[in-house]
Amino acid sequence: MTNELLEKKLSNIFIKIAKKEITFWQATDLYSEAQKVCDNASKEKITDKARETMAKIFIIFVGKNEDYCGNLVKGEFKFANKDLDKLEANFKEILKIIDLIHDKCPQIIDADYVAKTKENIKESKKLITSGREFANLRDKINCLKEKKNFSWQGIEEVWDEVKKKASVSQSVGWLTETAQTQKWGFLGEIAELCWEIAEAVAKGGKQDIPSEIYPSTHEELNFFQEIADEVSKMVDWLEEKFVDKIKNKEIKEKNEQLKSFIQEQRKKLGSSQKPTNKPNLQDQQKIQNQQKEIDYLKQQLAELQKQITELKQNQKDTDAKPEITKKIETLESKKQEIQSELNKKQSQQKELKDKANSSQSNNSDNGFKWWYVAIPSAILLVIMGIVIAYLMGKNKKKH
């Protein structure tokens, strides 16, 4: 390969990767292509011009990774393990080569840029750790969406986990924002499933809905109602802030159709509301106190797991492996202790709930009280359009 051909190939790649519409995934492929071009060229053919062009490609590549992290925080993309693997691999590549490019082209990549990039990657690794949790939950819900695995109970359990993760206090504000936007994403996906069923029934297509998907119990309808109420409260909040009322109106219409479906289905089951057994005030207070203890223990477990994950990551990047290994072992031991205590508390709470429900079985009333999940009162204005996109099923196409 001649000097001129090498420079031309790198220049063409630079023109492509510099385009605004190039995505994180496309930029990753283009950067890999540029690397191969340089690897296939002999060292003596890599001119100063070629090095400078490669440095510029590198800068844009770094920028696309930073932009992608920002979009994850805003909720414009869903967390997926394969994408997080790619992001993690990109970070390793950047850290491996950035000092070398700085040495070769200090006029393009100066010391301040190197320091800033390393610090940004250090912070962004926290996003990957947090994102893995949501990605794993997304894998669960995607598996449950398959007809052979479908279960409303399973989807409800995933939703409960999402709510818990979104409610955990984070070390930095942008991680809290990330958790909230991901929560809205899950809510939108689940709402779409519920809306599709309600719409099919309204159009007379009930027979086309598989029996395992059609809600046929009070418990499943309770979950439908929770989702409908969550969406209603969120849309009401959005209407106060969001100038475009049209999409909000479409969502509200779908949600009202869902609520009507729930009411009609309850009537078919023999009651418009599900009877509930209410424990006495003393037992109720004990259950609430136990729940606070359980939530606290779960939060401790989450924090410990986060520390362990970060230490394991640092173990790969540093030479202080024995010291880090010892810290990991100590944290793992502490984690086991807390898990044992958590299991004990959960068992005690279950026994108390069973006892309370049993003692009240002959005195149940017909009033069902919905337990709502409060929507946070302060969410950045920038995510409102994103929430709308999620709920209308118009997420950005990745590739």
pLDDT in tens, 46-85: 889 999 999 999 999 999 999 999 888 887 888 999 999 9
Q: What stretch of H or E contains 372? A: none
Residue pair 218/269 in contact (Cβ under 8 Å)? The answer is yes
- For residue 329, the model assigns a pLDDT of 84
Confidence of residue 260 (pLDDT cuts 50, 70, 90): very high
**pLDDT at residue 394 greater than cutoff 90:** no
**pLDDT at residue 365 greater than cutoff 50:** no
Q: How many residues does the chain have?
A: 399
- For residue 241, the model assigns a pLDDT of 55
Distance of CA 248 to the CA centre of its chain: 23
The helices-and-strands tally (H runs, E runs) of the chain is 12, 0
Cα separation, 332 vs 338, whole angstroms: 10
Which one has a higher pLDDT value, 352 or 398? Answer: 352
Cα separation, 114 vs 94, whole angstroms: 10
- For residue 97, the model assigns a pLDDT of 93
Nearest to 14 by CA among 58, 49, 48, 47: 58
Whole-angstrom Cα Rg for the chain: 26
Cα separation, 306 vs 13, whole angstroms: 38
- For residue 237, the model assigns a pLDDT of 63
Confidence of residue 18 (pLDDT cuts 50, 70, 90): very high
Nearest to 25 by CA among 94, 85, 73, 75: 85
- For residue 130, the model assigns a pLDDT of 87
Query: With the C-alpha atoms ordered 313, 314, 317, 323, is the resulting torsion angle positive or negative?
Result: negative
Report CA dihedral (283, 288, 294, 298) to the nearest 10 degrees.
160
Which one has a higher pLDDT value, 392 or 37? Answer: 37
- For residue 176, the model assigns a pLDDT of 82
The encoded tokens of residue 98 equal 């950035």
Stated pTM of the model: 0.61
Residue 23 CB coordination number (10 Å): 17
Give me the mean pLDDT over the 257-276 stretch.
77
Which amino acid, 187? L
Give me the mean pLDDT over the 281-286 stretch.
66
Give me the mean pLDDT over the 241-269 stretch.
81
Residue pair 78/185 in contact (Cβ under 8 Å)? The answer is yes
Which one has a higher pLDDT value, 396 or 206? Answer: 206
The most confident of 122-131, 174-183, 336-345, by mean pLDDT: 122-131
Q: Per-residue pLDDT tens for 193-202? A: 899 999 988 8
CB contact set of 235 (below 8 Å; sequence gap of 6+): 248, 251, 252, 255
Which one has a higher pLDDT value, 145 or 85? Answer: 85
Start-to-end CA span in the chain (Å): 32
**pLDDT at residue 362 greater than cutoff 60:** no
Q: Tell which phi-psi region holds residue 214, choosing left (phi > 0), alpha (psi between -120 and 50) or beta.
A: beta
Nearest to 162 by CA among 180, 142, 144: 180
Supply the mean pLDDT for the chain.
79
- For residue 343, the model assigns a pLDDT of 81
Give me the mean pLDDT over the 263-278 stretch.
67
- For residue 105, the model assigns a pLDDT of 93
The most confident of 77-81, 82-86, 204-208, 357-361, by mean pLDDT: 82-86
Cα separation, 233 vs 236, whole angstroms: 5
The encoded tokens of residue 137 equal 């939950």
Q: What is the largest CA-CA distance in the chain?
A: 90
